[in-house]
Structure 1
Amino acid sequence: MTRPELPFLQLHAFVVLAEELHFGHAAERLGIAQPPLSQQIRRLEEKVGHPLFHREPGRVTLTPAGRELLPAAQQALADVADGLAAARTVRSGRAGRLRIGFAASLALTVLPGLLRTFRQRFPDVQLDVREMTTAPQLAALQDRSIDVGLLREPPADDPELGFRTILREPFVAVLPAGHPLAPRRTVRLADLAESPFVLLPREVGPRLHDRIIALCATAGFTPHVAQRAVEWQTLCALVQAGLGVTLAPASIRRIRLDGVVFRRTAPGDARTRVAVAWRRHEQNPLIAGLLAAVDQDPPEPGSGADG
């Protein structure tokens, strides 16, 4: 046999009467008349299956069953009060959990400062940070497995998702140190036409992939892709091994590998867009808090300096 559920109002009435041991005083404290209080206590006793109070003229005392129930009832009411307080705190955006997806390259620039600023403003919020490329982030936002994404080259428009651009970052050419163009401070994209490329697979970041292909097309060539890899660290290692060159966001120059150099590109106005993404119709104050953190401490675009 399962234990019957004990309604909150009946438990509340029981605890107040147990503390007052007087129906009149308990009813006054509860803000109700004595008959409804008596009804609440009788219904609770029916559910428990035992009397909870000895009722004598001018005197009310707890039965053994009442004494046994009282600590559990007090704890249950305290738990409900704590839960309500926690729910109000979450609703206000002061606590809760925020699940953030981020592109790996943003760990080199945007992510640390953004999380630090957010943590300073919302120290009681639990952050669940997950490294994901752009396409998986968009899917995770749609299936609600993350709350917000930090991604590159977001879609131009999406009826379900909102986007806010937080950074437009220059591209750099990533070259082996022995490449003929390595001595230059600035590399014209057209001069990379004869070099093999290493690139991200299109399926993990289609818009960034297509952006790089489009920059090459504007420079008059279609790159010959010799190798592909998901991580920028791996792509840089392939460049180090002499398997090709690549175009990358300027922040990638913070990956320090012997035998790899990073050079500005010409024309120099090519940028990759970094954005925050979230579900448009979700009322989550923590997302607003993250956007406020971006506004408070906007990231600086990379310079694309030599390295």
Structure 2
Amino acid sequence: MQRTNLSLRGLEIFQMVARSGSVRQVAAETGLSVSTVSHHLRAVEESIGVSLIDHSRRPMVLTPAGTIFARHVEEGLSIIRRGETELTAGDLAEMRELRCGIVDDFDAEVAPELAQFLARAMPRCTFKHHTRPSHEIIRLLTERKLDVGLATRPVSDIPGLVEYPVLRDPFVIALPAGSDTAPEDFLAGRGKLPFLRYSSQQLIGNTIEAHLRRSRISLPNRFELESNQSLLGMVADGSGWAITTPASYVRAKRFQDQIALHPYPGKGFVRYISLFSNEHYPRPTAELIAGSLRRLIKRYFVNPISDRYRWLSPGFQVLDTPPEAAP
């Protein structure tokens, strides 16, 4: 059989187009021109002498031969990436690239010091930092566009990701300071203030709504907000009440004196914040990042709020065991 002249870059481009179905999207993600991406695709097809992609359709789709080839490319590139990471796993100074995502809850207090720490530990590394909602970080990890990401733990396990638990963040009731209505009355719909919801597009919003459904609690849907600052700002202003978490409360520093936190009545519920990596990323590096995150989150989130609200301990705490085993 005649040997082909396949290039690694060409195979990577083919893999990305196979996933997205768009040459323009791959060009935007890689910084290459559309013509360069198309050239790489054509070169792969010409090298093996088989049509892999139906270029006439939008979005592009794989031919039957392309579907088979894409599976083998996925396996081959995975083996190559595993070899690359194993060569540098024991030496942080040799790390060349880190693509890191952090959920926006921790972007202001934690991310800057984490970046400084990693820059010292990995002097030859190029860093790419992304701030996104949790569901987007999980998506970028599964698409292999991130190496590690700090995000809310999804309801179900995601194949191909390794989890390093960081924070147990229980849900609480946030009321305007000085409110004389009990949290139980708001949950029962007897309060005069409207319920302020997190967006249903966010993991935190979905978690809250799922718990309310399980508890058979139905509340009017008048306000739904993506911005944590806007939501807690309305609570501080006396315009509503909310179900939130201590970590989310910490972010709203300017409103903290106008908001009172209360334990969630009845059966409580929790979200878990974890560092996730793809399965081929070196474990020692991921554990180093997770350890640094735990120290920073304890310093800037857990300790200050636990001192203010003693009843939050030990529920609001950093973790070093899987969530299933955590108290």
TM bin, normalised by shorter chain, reads 0.5 to 0.7
Matched, 1:132 2:129: no
- Cα distance in 2 for partners of 1:157, 1:99 equals 22
SS of residue paired to 1:202: coil
SS in 2 for 1:211: helix
Q: Residue in 2 aligned with 1:229?
A: 225
The answer on whether the counterparts of 2:104 and 2:131 sit within 8 Å (CA) in structure 1 is yes
Normalising by structure 1, what TM-score?
A: 0.57
1:59-116: per-residue Cα shift (whole Å, max 9, x none)? xxxxxxxxxxxxxxxxxxxxxxxxxxxxx77994423221111111123665455445
Letter in 1 for 2:241: V
Q: Does 1:257 align with 2:258?
A: no
Q: Which structure has more strand as a fraction of its residues? A: 1
Distance in 2, matches of 1:260 and 1:218, equals 31
1:192 matched to which residue of 2?
A: 187
Instruction: Report the counterpart of residue 38 of structure 1 in structure 2.
Output: none
Q: CA deviation at 1:272?
A: 1.6
Structure 1 position 278, deviation (Å): 1.9
Pick the aligned partner of 1:289 from 273, 285, 288: 285
Whole-Å separation in 2 of the counterparts to 1:190 and 1:124: 57
Q: Distance in 1 between matches of 2:121 and 2:290?
A: 12
Q: Write the distance in 2 (CA, Å) between the matches of 1:141 and 1:189.
A: 39
Contact map agreement 2:100 2:147 (CA 8 A) in 1: yes
Aligned residue for 1:272?
Answer: 271
Distance 2:100 2:171 in 1: 25
* 2:156 counterpart residue number: 156
Distance (whole Å) between structure 1 residues aligned to residue 240 and residue 125 of structure 2: 44
What residue is the counterpart of 1:4 in the other structure? none
Summarize the alignment of residues 7-18 of structure 1 with structure 2, pairs less than 5 Å apart.
none
Q: How many angstroms does 1:252 deviate by?
A: 2.5
- What residue is the counterpart of 1:104 in the other structure? 104
Whole-Å Cα distance in 2 between the matches of residues 203 and 119 of structure 1?
A: 33
Distance 1:251 1:112 in 2: 17
Q: How far apart are 1:167 and its partner, in Å?
A: 0.9
Over 3 Å counting, the alpha-carbon distance change for 1:155 and 1:120 in structure 2 is: farther
Report the CA distance between 1:125 and its aligned residue.
2.6
The CA distance in 1 between the partners of 2:162 and 2:184, in whole Å, is 33
Q: Which amino acid aligns with 2:209?
A: I
Structure 1 counterpart of 2:217, one-letter code: F
SS, match of residue 237 in structure 1: helix
Of structures 1 and 2, the larger Rg is shown by: 1
* Change beyond 3 A, Cα 1:212–1:169: same
Tell me if structure 1 keeps the 8 A contact 2:235–2:259. Answer: no
Q: Answer whether contact 1:261 1:306 (CA < 8 A) is retained.
A: no
Contact 1:149 1:278 in 2 (8 A): yes
What is the alpha-carbon root mean square deviation over aligned residues? 3.3
> SS where residue 221 of structure 1 aligns?
coil
Write the letter of the residue equivalent to 2:233. Answer: A
1:174–1:260: 8 Å Cα contact kept in structure 2? Answer: no
Q: Which runs of 5+ in 2 are unaligned?
A: 1-86, 311-327
The residue that corresponds to 1:170 in the other structure is 170
Query: Conserved in 2, the CA contact under 8 Å of 1:118 and 1:289?
Result: no
Identity %: 19
Once the 2 structures are TM-superposed, how far is the Cα of residue 141 of structure 1 from its aligned partner? 1.3
Shift of 1:273: 0.5
Between 132-141 and 233-242, report the one with greater CA deviation.
Answer: 233-242
Equivalent residue pairs, number: 210
**Conserved? CA contact 1:154–1:275, under 8 Å:** no
Contact 2:92 2:121 in 1 (8 A): no
- Provide the C-alpha distance between the structure 1 equivalents of 2:219 and 2:241, rounded to a whole number of angstroms: 10
